Amino acid sequence: MPEYKVIWIHVNMSWTDGEVQDIPLATETINGYSREGWEFVSLVPGTNAQTYHGVFVTLRRN
């Protein structure tokens, strides 16, 4: 049965139209978990006052 993990990563992103932005901390974090056997499932932006400056990442491993 797979094991799931949801983490929140605090990041600040600028609000520019039509530009691709790197999110180095999220990228490094996801790559680190991948090296430990976790599979990336999703990345979702925070939507309320406490999580507005961050993203939720869901990971899975068997």
52: pLDDT confidence band, cut at 50, 70 and 90? confident
Q: Please state, rounded to an integer, the average pLDDT across all residues of the chain.
A: 91
Choose among 42, 61, 53: nearest CA to 9.
Answer: 53
Counting the structural domains of the chain, the total is 1
Choose among 10, 6, 14: nearest CA to 55.
Answer: 10
Q: Indicate whether 14 pLDDT > 80.
A: no
Amino acid at position 28, single letter: E
In the block, residue with structure tokens 């993203």: 55
How many whole angstroms separate alpha carbon 37 and alpha carbon 31? 10
Residue range of the domain that includes 9 = 3-14+21-61
Provide the pLDDT for residue 20.
84
Q: Indicate whether 56 pLDDT > 80.
A: yes
- pTM score of the predicted model: 0.84
Provide the pLDDT for residue 59.
98
